[in-house]
Amino acid sequence: MPQQPPTITDVAREAGVSKGLVSFALNDRPGVSAETRARILEVARELGWTPSLRARSLSTGRSFACGLVLGRSPDVIAADPFFHSFIAGLEDEFSMSGQVLVLAVATPGRQESETYRGLAVDKRVDGVIVTDLRAHDPRLELVDRLGLAAVTLGVPDAETPFSSVSVDDGAGIHAAVRHLSDLGHRRIAHIAGPDGMLHARTRRQAFESAAAEFGLVAASVETDFSAAEGAAATGALLDGDAPPTAIVYSNDHMAIAGLGVARRRGLSVPGDLSITGYDDTEIGRYVNPALTSVATDAREWGRVAARTLLGAIEGHDAVNVRLNEPTLTVRESTGPAPTDTRGDRRDR
């Protein structure tokens, strides 16, 4: 017969204390001396005791699970390396604390709302991480009404009772525009995400503000963040009467798609067109030419979001955590503005 896993009774017998005292020590409750707690924990480790998730759920009324509902196209999620790294960061923390990550992909709107309701009513999760904040986001009121703990990625545009974890998206875009301006570019474009998402809007506004600051001729094109729409927007810009000499993309996989469009048209990158991305994903470092990109640490963002959500579930006060400011990593996809045969810059 397979050996049965050790129980609290086994730990109590080996430590010479009551089951109740073991329970108090293992759950870090008051009433146990430091010396006794240390002895009980040492015995538990020696026996290989691990907590029963079912027993913990019954005794605390918690599910010991956290939800992440992604309101984007599955194709976009599958292609965007940001989510892979972010989820890895969540798992780094949740796996250490015995939490389970419940991941759901839902169409924004009614289906998304029903997904949140199902998670709450069925007590499948204790809290959720809300991504891709929108203007006057109705999900925040819904999650609050459902009684779920929550953390938002980014700062909402209205008061909420929830903690947030954010980065300064605008700072990264400003750095990219400054870099291109310093290289002599005067006609640039931004291929942005959907304007209904707050972080996409912030990036677009930062681009327009920086372009005005440096006296550049600028245009923005809205997309759904997908490589396909990024490629289509690149083609439309290059087909215009006054095509840009540099394009600032709102994520790396749109930038890589744009790089492919430019190369298939016979353009040199960066000789004819400079390109910058956002997120500094691993694949961007290995394409040819290597991608200049705004660096953010998606995995660390996941770790911090997970820790912040666990604090919210424990009843800690709401906090607004600001991560390190994004920085521009310069590689081979950006260079001086192109010149014509007379040596004059073509974008003047």
Confidence at residue 6, expressed as pLDDT on a 0 to 100 scale: 81
CA distances from 27 to 44, 45, 60, 78, 89 (A): 12, 15, 11, 39, 25
Can you give the three-state secondary structure of 90-134, one letter per residue? HHHHHHHHCCEEEEEECCCCHHHHHHHHHHHHCCCCCEEEECCCE
3-state percent helix, strand, coil for the chain, nearest multiple of 5:
45, 20, 40
> What's the CA gap between 85 and 231, in Å, rounded?
24
- For the chain, report the end-to-end CA distance as a whole number of angstroms: 82
Residue 310's alpha-carbon distances to 54, 94, 100, 205, 243, in angstroms, are: 19, 9, 12, 33, 49
DSSP 332: T
Distance from C-alpha of 209 to C-alpha of 220, rounded to nearest angstrom: 12
Pairing of strands 292-295, 327-329: antiparallel
Options 3.40.50.410, 3.40.50.300, 3.40.50.2300, 1.20.1250.20; CATH for 169-291 is 3.40.50.2300
In order along the chain (348 residues), what is the average pLDDT of each group of 10 residues?
A: 73 88 75 86 82 55 82 79 89 82 85 90 89 92 94 93 94 97 98 94 97 97 94 97 96 96 97 96 94 94 94 92 94 91 46
Q: Rounded to whole angstroms, how far apart are CA atoms 187 and 341?
A: 19
Give me the residue spans of the domains in the chain: 8-50, 65-166+298-326, 169-291
Residue recorded with tokens 């050790």: 6
- Phi and psi of 225, rounded to 5°? 80, 0
CA distances from 2 to 5, 6, 47, 54 (A): 9, 12, 16, 21
> How far, in Å, are 86, 198, 252 from residue 153 at the CA level?
11, 10, 19
At what angle are helices 34-47 and 19-26 packed, to 10 degrees? Answer: 90
β-pairing verdict for 217-222 and 127-130? unpaired
343 SS3 class:
coil
Spatial distance between the Cα atoms of 303 and 91, rounded to a whole number of angstroms = 8
Domains 65-166+298-326 and 169-291 share a fold: yes
**Residue 232 DSSP label:** H
**CA 166 to CA 25: how far, in whole Å?**
36
Q: What does CATH list as the number for 65-166+298-326?
A: 3.40.50.2300
CB 150 within 8 A of CB 127: yes
Fold observed for domain 8-50: 434 Repressor (Amino-terminal Domain) (1.10.260)
Q: Can you give the pLDDT at residue 121?
A: 84
Q: The pTM is what?
A: 0.79
